[in-house]
């Protein structure tokens, strides 16, 4: 059982549609990070959320950290083909140094 | 500023061999973490080094080891390779590391290891 459950695992949508990716846990995280990974590359950080209830926006991407700091969501508005990739959430537990616990990932494909 | 570099990018080994992977962090970064990424298990934490000391260790067998040098460069070693060790090995660096990982970690492109 993964500490961080990410859903859905796969998502195939048409350009212009909206989507939401969820990341859930029974553990409390001191911070939660969202990454995007392209084939053959390492994950690239999109955002870090650290405060319960925090909402951050990055152009068409909206990230939310749950009030209890156990869950997070990533919402993409009007998806574009360039958004295609693997989206990963990763939580940091307090007293765990730099260790990140990753969700299983959501593979997004946006078709033109 | 150059990003995190990992060498080699690709590697093919046979069962029973050992392998050493290298990671050069971003200049000035002192924390280096290693992760294993497989289709089945996703990204899993191996270990973290800070100032040449292992600060955290994931749930991997003792065949997986690492070290960090005084210039913050890090190596990881896998001995007695098994087929299941085939994976993308990622290295990430950050300035200090710290409680709750609230500072950004920058990932390298990874080393893809294939064990035959």
CB-based burial, B83-112: b 16+ in 10 Å, e otherwise: eebbbbbbbbbbeebeebbebebbbbbbbb
Decide if B32 contacts B24 (C-beta within 8 A). no
What pLDDT does residue A40 have? 84
Give, as one character, the DSSP assignment of residue A12. Answer: E
Contact A93 B44 (CB under 8 A): no
Mutate to test the interface with B, among A50, A98, A103, A105 (most CBs of B within 10 A): A98
Average of per-residue pLDDT across B32-44: 94
To the nearest whole Å, the CA of A88 is away from the closest chain B CA by 9
Q: Which residues of B touch A104 (CB under 8 A)?
A: 42
What pLDDT does residue A92 have? 86
Average of per-residue pLDDT across B73-102: 87
Decide if B13 contacts B116 (C-beta within 8 A). yes
To the nearest whole Å, the CA of A40 is away from the closest chain B CA by 7
**Is pLDDT at B1 greater than 90 in this prediction?**
no
**Is pLDDT at B97 greater than 70 in this prediction?**
no
Mean predicted lDDT score pLDDT of chain B: 92
Average of per-residue pLDDT across B30-37: 95
Q: Which residues of A touch B31 (CB under 8 A)?
A: 97-98
Residues lower than pLDDT 70 in chain A = 1-2, 95-97
What pLDDT band is residue B99 in, cutting at 50, 70 and 90?
Answer: low
Which single residue is written with the structure tokens 């600060």?
B55
Higher pLDDT, B97 or B49: B49
Q: Which residues of B touch A103 (CB under 8 A)?
A: 42
């Amino acid at each position: 059982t993964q500490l961080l459950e990410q859903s859905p695992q796969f998502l195939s949508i048409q350009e212009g549609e909206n989507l939401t990716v969820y990341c859930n846990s029974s553990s409390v995280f001191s911070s939660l990070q969202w990454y995007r990974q392209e084939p053959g590359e390492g994950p690239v950080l999109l955002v870090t959320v650290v405060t319960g209830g925090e909402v951050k926006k990055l152009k068409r991407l909206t990230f939310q950290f749950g009030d209890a700091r156990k869950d997070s969501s990533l919402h993409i508005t009007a998806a574009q083909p360039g958004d295609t990739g693997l989206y990963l959430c990763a939580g940091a537990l307090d007293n765990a140094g730099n260790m990140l616990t990753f969700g299983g990932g959501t593979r997004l494909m946006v078709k033109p | 500023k150059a990003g995190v570099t990992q060498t080699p990018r690709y590697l093919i080994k046979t069962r029973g061999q050992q392998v050493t992977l290298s990671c050069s962090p971003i200049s000035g970064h002192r924390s280096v973490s290693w992760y294993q990424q497989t289709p089945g298990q996703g990204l899993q934490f191996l270990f973290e080094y800070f100032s040449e000391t292992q600060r955290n260790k994931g749930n991997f067998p003792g065949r997986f080891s690492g070290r960090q040098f005084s210039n913050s460069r890090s190596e990881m070693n896998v001995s007695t390779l098994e087929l299941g060790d085939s994976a993308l090995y990622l290295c990430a660096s950050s300035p200090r590391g710290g409680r709750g990982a609230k500072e950004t970690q920058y990932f390298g492109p990874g080393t893809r290891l294939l064990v035959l």
